[in-house]
Amino acid sequence: GLFETILVDNQTIYAWPEHYARLSAGLNRLGLPEVAPKDLLARLNAAARCTGGVSVAKILITAGCGPRGYVRSENPALTIRVWANLLPKLNSAPLSVGIAAHPISAMPYLAGLKTLNRLDQVLAANPVRQDIDEQLLTDHQNRVVCATNSNFFWREGEQWFTPPITEGGIEGTRRALWICRLGARQQHAALGRLALAEQAFLCNAVNVYRPIAHLQGRALTEASPPQSAALVAVNGGYQFHETAASFDCLHADADNHLKQNCWSKIRGMNP
Amino acid sequence: GLFETILVDNQTIYAWPEHYARLSAGLNRLGLPEVAPKDLLARLNAAARCTGGVSVAKILITAGCGPRGYVRSENPALTIRVWANLLPKLNSAPLSVGIAAHPISAMPYLAGLKTLNRLDQVLAANPVRQDIDEQLLTDHQNRVVCATNSNFFWREGEQWFTPPITEGGIEGTRRALWICRLGARQQHAALGRLALAEQAFLCNAVNVYRPIAHLQGRALTEASPPQSAALVAVNGGYQFHETAASFDCLHADADNHLKQNCWSKIRGMNP
């Protein structure tokens, strides 16, 4: 199955076109049927109305029940669950970031998708180390891919970089947006290259800018968001202002909104 | 989480020491607490009594509920589920075996464990192709690792081989037993090497010998179990006779039985 983690502030939903585009791509890759965006939006809206504040909504889609073994039923009836939980106020203190002990799996066919196969992330996040806030995950060649629940960006001079999602990791909705806004290059980062980083941050759907103050113990100086991004404070963290849309407006013109996602823009970019 | 798939025939359980040893190793690798063998045996017995015939029992163990995100609760209370289903009569017709289209994930840290991260297997098993019965899964170097739900053995001259479980696949309980009985070598098999196979079979916990009649379209001649194994017919398939034990006898002397698993024997073997 697949999931999405979506930030919702009462009637405002963030980066819906990106979330829906990734989910659709995932269903397609897994050979599962499509889900109408209006159906998901209606469920999201209902879930968000129950919490009534800044909350994280989850969409969870599985292939549903099947026969014994790994074979799915011929016409899988998707199980779709949508719920929302109020989000505690975020802590925006700059992070101390280390490196997880063992590499994540290489899964070229599934790279980028937000599948439920997340044992790597669970293992990387446990046990929590006291001396660091977050860990970067590396692949089998000791190259940085992402953090346990975020994507990773770093700056060398005027150029921003982020690791490509070729064998593992998730094509983050905010990763795509940042690549557009920063003109970031997707390049593999061997651990040693982190020494060149002058600034770095993590991003995910809940907070698009979490500055890194210490990277493998080395202090970074800059901890303010790049100017090129129009960020707005939400619940103690940041969001891209222009990705906010109301459920009503999305419902009214669902197809046009979905075309305005950032994926098509980064497709032509490196690599 | 982890699971085990165990063949039970009324009061007889097969290869319990191997199943328990693999499960314990998995819990340890995932940083989860131990589970007492007597507790699992009692649950297995109860589940098997309900079906009362040849059935497949499943043990499913997860880390249980945790907080939001990937971090587990500090003292995870395992969720343990055990159930059994009657096994339909097995079809022992020799198999036609092909190659799955895309490679399975490389996960050195998790290789061998029977975790719930089985999306590769689900994808490989779907859609079912009409012209073949089973598919071999390959790694990112195009080497055979296993089949969707079985381990793979092949013979060249007098020597038996099976792929090593170094980056993906499952350390099958019957795989270990076959390695002992056949003196099989664990060697990587590039797809081309399959041309050297004179005989081949698949094995899993439900049936330890499923002969392969056609391997990538090429006919193999031999389809009778190797003499060195003392096999017994169970439910239309085969089992290793000496791995059968009654729940009662296992309960009475649980520790001694667990020491008699085959893992220690193959540990000293190649590679």
Residues A27 and A43 occupy one common structural domain = yes
- The chain B residues in contact with chain A (CB within 8 A) are 30-31, 56, 63, 68-72, 85, 102-103, 105-110, 115-128, 140, 148-149
Residues B123 and B224 occupy one common structural domain = yes
Exposure on the CB side of residue B42, measured as CA atoms within 13 A: 7
Is there a cis peptide before residue A17, judged by omega within 30 degrees of 0? no
Residues A15 and A46 occupy one common structural domain = yes
3-state SS of B66-85?
CCCCCCCCCCCCCEEEEEEE
Cα B127 from Cα B199, distance rounded (Å): 27
Residues A196 and A106 occupy one common structural domain = yes
Cα B208 from Cα B269, distance rounded (Å): 21
Cα A43 from Cα A61, distance rounded (Å): 13
For A154-209, give the DSSP string. EEETTEEEE---SSSSB--HHHHHHHHHHT-EE--EEGGGGGG-SEEEEE-SS-S-
- Residue B58: closest CA among chain A residues belongs to which residue? A68
Note the pLDDT tens digit of each residue in B176-223: 999 999 999 999 999 999 999 999 999 999 999 999 999 999 999 877
What separation in angstroms does the CA of B116 have from each of A107, B90, B107, B121? Answer: 16, 25, 13, 11
Chain A nearest CA to B123, separation (Å): 7
Least confident of A118-122, B64-68, B93-97, B151-155: B64-68
For residue B102, is pLDDT > 50?
yes
**pLDDT of amino acid B246:** 93
Residues A189 and A146 occupy one common structural domain = yes
For residue B271, is pLDDT > 50?
no
Residues B28 and B114 occupy one common structural domain = no
Nearest to A19 by CA among A1, A36, A6: A6
Note the pLDDT tens digit of each residue in B246-269: 998 888 887 888 888 888 777 666
Q: What is the CA radius of gyration of chain A?
A: 18
**pLDDT of amino acid B58:** 96
For residue B96, is pLDDT > 90?
yes
For A40-51, give the DSSP string. HHHHHHHHHHHH
- Residue A128: closest CA among chain B residues belongs to which residue? B71
Nearest-by-Cβ selection for A117 from B106, B108, B119: B119
Q: Which residues on chain A are in Cβ contact (under 8 Å) with B63?
A: 122
CB B61 within 8 A of CB B2: yes
Cα B119 from Cα B124, distance rounded (Å): 8
**pLDDT of amino acid B9:** 92
Which stretch of DSSP H or E encloses residue B21?
A: helix B16-29
Cα B154 from Cα B201, distance rounded (Å): 7
| Secondary-structure percent of chain B, ordered helix, strand, coil, rounded to 5 | 25, 30, 40
**pLDDT of amino acid A233:** 94
Intervals of chain A under pLDDT 70: 267-271
Residues A100 and A136 occupy one common structural domain = yes
Note the pLDDT tens digit of each residue in B17-34: 999 999 999 999 999 999
Residues A137 and A234 occupy one common structural domain = yes
- Single-letter amino acid, residue B200: A
A126, B71: Cβ pair inside 8 Å?
yes
Residues B201 and B217 occupy one common structural domain = yes
Interface test with B, best of A119, A143, A146, A204 (most B CBs within 10 A): A119
Nearest-by-Cβ selection for A149 from B70, B72, B106: B70
Interaxial angle between packed helices B16-29 and B37-51, expressed in degrees from 0 to 180 and rounded to the nearest 10: 130
Q: Which residues on chain B are in Cβ contact (under 8 Å) with A148?
A: 70
A105, B103: Cβ pair inside 8 Å?
no
Residues A67 and A177 occupy one common structural domain = no
What average pLDDT does this structure show over B30-59?
Answer: 93
The chain-wide mean pLDDT, for chain A, equals 90
**pLDDT of amino acid A269:** 61
Which stretch of DSSP H or E encloses residue B267?
A: helix B263-267
- Residue A206: closest CA among chain B residues belongs to which residue? B69
Residues A257 and A215 occupy one common structural domain = no
A154 Rama sector, left if φ>0, alpha if ψ -120 to 50, beta otherwise = beta
For residue B42, is pLDDT > 60?
yes
**pLDDT of amino acid A159:** 95
Number of domains in chain A: 2
Is there a cis peptide before residue A271, judged by omega within 30 degrees of 0? yes
> What's A189's domain CATH number?
3.20.10.10
Structural domain containing residue B110? 95-240
Residues B224 and B235 occupy one common structural domain = yes
- The chain A residues in contact with chain B (CB within 8 A) are 30-31, 56, 63, 68-72, 85, 102-103, 105-110, 115-128, 140, 148-149
For residue B270, is pLDDT > 60?
no
Cα B96 from Cα B216, distance rounded (Å): 8
> What's A74's domain CATH number?
3.30.470.10
Note the pLDDT tens digit of each residue in B141-179: 899 999 999 999 999 999 999 999 988 899 999 999 999
**pLDDT of amino acid B263:** 81
Cα A42 from Cα A194, distance rounded (Å): 43
B107, A105: Cβ pair inside 8 Å?
yes
- Residue B129: closest CA among chain A residues belongs to which residue? A71
